[in-house]
Structure formats: C-alpha cells, structure tokens
Structure 1
C-alpha cells in the first residue's frame, strides 16, 4: 500500500482525507488518494470497499441564502 513516510492514514481512519493525492482530475471533479479513496469535489467519498460517504461540506458564513 502506502510507501510514504509517515504512512498515510488508512481508508477506515477518521483522518483518511489527509492521504497523499496520487491522481487528480479537477475537470471531472475527483481525486484518487494513496489509501484508495476517491474524493469528490463536493467532499463526498467512495471508499475502497465500496462504501459511500455522503458530502460533508461545512456551511460558511455568507453562503446561506434566505428568502425575503
């Protein structure tokens, strides 16, 4: 698996998104991390075992629109 020093976090770790990017395709909206995770630009993830992690983008101040 990972040959980096220090070793990248595994796919089942809470900090899995800290793994090194090994392939990046911003025009398609995804990146492949060293631990086998497909990370999508909307912050969703596809884990190596096929599990899906829903997007978890945080809401920033000023980004919420309210109806008048």
Structure 2
C-alpha cells in the first residue's frame, strides 16, 4: 500500500503504528495508516488481517480534575 520513500513499516512490524496517516477522522476517533492499520484515539488498533490490538495507554497519562 505504501508508495513513498522510505517505505512505512508493514502491519506485522513491531513499529507498525509509525506508518503515515493516509486518512484521518478525528471526529470519529480513528485514522487509517499507509500499511492498512486502523488506529483509534484510545490507542487500540485494528490490523489489516482483522487482529485487534487492545488499547495500551500508559497509566496516569490522562489528567485528572483537581
């Protein structure tokens, strides 16, 4: 799917989430990456083969109201 240079990491690569965004839909909470991966605002992912990567937020990353 990737036609630019250097090519993006494949969906099977450990760093697949660093691929270029080809279609962003922030109002819906997701983006399509060049390698076919869909990433969601909650840090979850849907890989092109249908596998799901659960959200992996860092604990304490969200600010709490004081």
Instruction: Flag whether TM exceeds 0.5 (same fold).
Output: yes
Q: Which residue of 1 aligns with 2:57?
A: 57
- Displacement, 1:59? 1.8
TM-score under structure 1 length normalisation = 0.86
- Structure of larger gyration radius: 1
Q: Structure 1 unaligned runs (5+)?
A: none
Deviating 4+ runs (over 2 angstroms): 60-64
- Displacement, 1:60? 3.3
Q: Which residue of 2 aligns with 1:17?
A: 17
Pairing 1:1-68 to 2, within 5 Å after superposition: 1-60=1-60, 63=63
Distance, in Å, in 2 between the alignment partners of 1:20 and 1:48 is: 15
TM-score under structure 2 length normalisation = 0.88
Matched residues, number = 65
Question: Cα distance 1:62–1:46, how it changes in 2: closer, same or farther (>3 A)?
Answer: closer
Q: What do you get for the CA RMSD once the two structures are aligned? A: 1.9
